[in-house]
Every structure is written in C-alpha cells, then in structure tokens.
Structure 1
Amino acid sequence: MQLHTHTWGEGDRIALLIHGIMADHRTWRRVGPALADRGYRVIAVDLRGHGASPRGEYTAELYADDVAESLPAGAELAIGHSLGGLTLSLAVERLRPRRAVFSDPAWHLAPPVEGFGPEMLARFKYASREQIRAMNPRWEDADVDIEIGTLALWDESTALGLAPLLGTDLLPAAPVVPSLVQLSDPSTLISPERAAVLTSRGFEVRSVAGAGHTIHRDDFGAFMTSLEGWI
C-alpha cells in the first residue's frame, strides 16, 4: 500500500519518521523542522488507517510492508515511535538506513489488565480535550489540538489489530544497522530487564528522565538531546 507522506526540508541527507498508533505525521511537528534545520530532507508517513493514508487490514507485517514500499531505502536516519518503532524493526532490513532510532518501541504489549486492552484503546478515538490534557499534562496546546485532529481521522480498528501481539516478546535478536533504543521514564513497554537484554544484543539504550511515552511531545528538548550522536 502506498502511504501518504509529508516532507520538511531539502537537505542532502534523508531522515524517515514513523509515528505510533492513533497519530499521523503531525505528531512530528517539531521534530521534522528540527531535523530539516540540521540538513535533512525529512519524510514522515501516515501509517495505514491513520491520517490521509488508505484503510485496510491491520497487522504489524502489513505496516512494515507499506513503509518499505513508500519510503526510500538507504536513508541516513530512521526514527520510529511506539507502533512505528515495531514497524521500523520489521522493515529495517528492507529500508537499510545508516542509523535507526526506536523511540519507546512497542516490542512488548502486555495482556489486558483490568479491562484495558485493544477495545478500550479503540474507544480513545472519542476522547475529549479534557481527557487528552489530563493524560498528557506536559503537552503544548498545539499538540492537544493535533491529537484531536488525528483521532478524528484515525481508524480505531487499528487498535483491534494489535490483539494477536498481546503478551508476545517482539524484541529484535540483534540490530540490523547501528541502533538506539530511546525509552520514556519509566517505560511501560520496555522494562529494565528487557532494556538490559537489548544492551546485551548490541543496541544502545538511553532513557529520557521523567518523559512519558510520547517523548518528543512530552519533552522535546530532552528528546533531541537524547539523540545527540545519532542525528
């Protein structure tokens, strides 16, 4: 499936951005221009079922196939957040960026706890501004506005497509290219034990102190600082 993309900058180096579930390319509203200022041509996708991209079936493998079809291989840098991190890990052999950053990647989705699972996540499509603000107290108003806009376009069936992954260990066996794993503090997806496993497998792991799951919106400055040496 050919995905909708958005581009910032006209640099000689290419950076790829892959968002998480419920979002689209607009989640990178500060990251894209910041990378463009560093000389990148930045290309961000809308995953299937998100933003302006087509709808269809929703599996991790299909997300990866779409990204490999829609983005250029051999970029200098690729960053994937959450579901985008899982997608990037499944497409990285085909994309072959020179460096990959997995930002709080969805490599372990716990089984539903106290009713929280894909169905509840799907219902978040109808979250109010007050709910979004309460869950993300550090976000700027612009990010709350964007979240409302992206939820309106999001196909909530994508959440139901996560069900087969619940309880599955999706940690990569080894980095295909030099790779940074960037974690929120604490991460609900990568435990300290799993972080240690990733380090032993050759990934560099960095935590962003105090940041929530969407690190680049929660603390943009710390997000960029955490990427030093990789961008």
Structure 2
Amino acid sequence: MAQLHIEQWGDGDRTAVLVHGITADTNSWWRTAPELVRQGYRVVAVDLPGHGRSPRSAAYDLDAMTDAVAEALPERPDLAVGHSLGALLLAGALPRLRPRRVVYVDPAWAAPPDEATAKAMTDALRAQKDWNSERIRVSLPRWELPAREHKLTALRRWDPATLDAFDGFAGYDPPAPEEPSLIVLADPSRNVPPPWAAQLSARGFVVRVVPDTGHVVHNEDFDGFWAVLREWL
C-alpha cells in the first residue's frame, strides 16, 4: 500500500502513537493527543488506508493494512493506543513496532456470531457514509460538537470498501501480553463481553470499563476515558 498520512503533535521526549478505528481518521484523537502532549509526549497518529488523507486501495485486507500501519509509525514508541479496528491492526503490528506500553480501546477482536449478524453490522457501517450532521447529532448525542464535526469530515473521506477487509474475519484472541497492556472497554462492550474480559484479565491484561459509554469511548466520555488512561500511565 502507498505511504499513509501522519499527523503529529508536540515535541516531548517520549513518543505515543495512535491508531483510529473504522470510518474515523486522526481527528478521532482531537482531545487525546493534546492531553498526551501535556504529559510530555510527542504524539504521532496515522490515517488508516482508505481513511482520512491516506490513499485508497484497489482492495483491502487486514494483513496489508497491518503492514501499512507498522511501516508508517515509529518503532519503539513509549505508548501505543489503538481503537476498534485500529486496536486489531496494532495488535498485529506489535512485533515490528515493539511499544513499551499498549492501550486497546474497545478492540474489534470478536467475530460476529453468524453471517446474518456480520452482514447487518457491515450494512450499518456502510450506511454511515450517507450520514449528515443532523443524523450524527441524533445518533451520537453524547459527543461534543467538535467530535461530531470531525466524524462528518471523516465519513466524507472514508472509503466504504475498507469493510471488505473483514470478509471471513474469524476473530482475534490475543496471547498473553509481553508488555504492559491496558484494555479500555465500552459499557456494554459487544467486542469484549464480560466473560472474555475476565479471561483476558487472567491472561495478564489490565481491563477497565468506562461506565455507560458507547464504542468510541474517548468521544462518549472523554473525562472518564482519560481518568482511566492517566491513572494507568
């Protein structure tokens, strides 16, 4: 894949890399990045293939997207954060990125239970391409105005063909982490339901839930999200 678009904030002596989720772009981190800068980080965020200002591709698959992320981001960051699809790709890129600490925000690790559910989920995401500002306001009532505006811009730039990358997705069951790893979950989380969260905790992950939040935890309740992240850092 062609070189991905990168955004950077700050010039701290520690590096944090951020990987957004499906339909979003680097502006998903509009509040997270400045807070990390205030904590002394240089922040580097990537637009995934077919998202934001990154180029589109003739075809998308998870392996190629993982490779593109690993090539675009600096190695050995002090912190790596991925949301949803970004968390899935980040997990695959760990052997090459080798971050010192990792945060997965409501990671897209669970496979749909059946083909009908998978199709319904894909159709619902694909339909977002036609959302306008009013639909975003109604659908995401807890998001602040800048977050909704960023969502609209991201949807206009997003290539829905990226959903093809999930064709045949059988789920991802992460091994025990080699580096300190935090999982921040929505409430409730369809991606990591409580029984699986308990298993991951026993495996060595730190698991935290931000109460009463939807999938994009850092836009649903940034204060709650940041409280969890800052305490863990």
Q: Is the TM-score greater than 0.5?
A: yes
Rounded Cα–Cα distance in structure 1 between residues aligned with 2:187 and 2:124: 23
Rounded Cα–Cα distance in structure 2 between residues aligned with 1:129 and 1:79: 28
Show the counterpart of 2:135. 131
Deviation (angstroms), 1:93: 1.3
Superposition CA RMSD, Å = 1.4
Structure 2 residue identity aligned to 1:64: T
Rounded Cα–Cα distance in structure 2 between residues aligned with 1:120 and 1:32: 29
Equivalent runs, 1:19-38 vs 2, <5 Å: 19-38=20-39
Rounded Cα–Cα distance in structure 1 between residues aligned with 2:167 and 2:129: 17
Deviation (angstroms), 1:125: 0.6
Show the counterpart of 2:67. 65
1:50 aligns with 2:51: yes
Note closer, same or farther for the CA distance 1:53–1:37 as it changes in structure 2 (3 Å cut): same
Equivalent runs, 1:13-24 vs 2, <5 Å: 13-24=14-25
Deviation digits for residues 62-112 of structure 1, max 9, x if unmatched?
121011101111100000000000011000111011000000000013134
Deviation (angstroms), 1:59: 1.5
Identity %: 45
1:153 aligns with 2:153: no
Rounded Cα–Cα distance in structure 2 between residues aligned with 1:225 and 1:169: 29
Structure 2 residue identity aligned to 1:53: S
Equivalent runs, 1:1-231 vs 2, <5 Å: 1=1, 2-56=3-57, 57-110=59-112, 111=114, 112-113=116-117, 116-165=120-169, 168-231=170-233
CA contact (8 A) 2:126 2:160 kept: yes
Rounded Cα–Cα distance in structure 1 between residues aligned with 2:185 and 2:119: 25
Q: Which moved more, 1:197-206 or 1:126-135?
A: 126-135
Rounded Cα–Cα distance in structure 1 between residues aligned with 2:178 and 2:89: 14
Structure 1 residue identity aligned to 2:164: L
CA contact (8 A) 2:61 2:164 kept: no
Greater helix content: 2
Note closer, same or farther for the CA distance 1:188–1:3 as it changes in structure 2 (3 Å cut): same
Q: Which consecutive residues of structure 1, in runs of 5 or more, have no partner in the other structure?
A: none
Deviation digits for residues 114-142 of structure 1, max 9, x if unmatched?
96132332121111222212221100111
Q: Which moved more, 1:124-133 or 1:181-190?
A: 124-133
Note closer, same or farther for the CA distance 1:47–1:114 as it changes in structure 2 (3 Å cut): closer
Q: TM-score, normalised by structure 1?
A: 0.95
Q: TM-score, normalised by structure 2?
A: 0.94
Deviation digits for residues 195-227 of structure 1, max 9, x if unmatched?
011112111100001111101111111111011
CA contact (8 A) 1:185 1:208 kept: yes
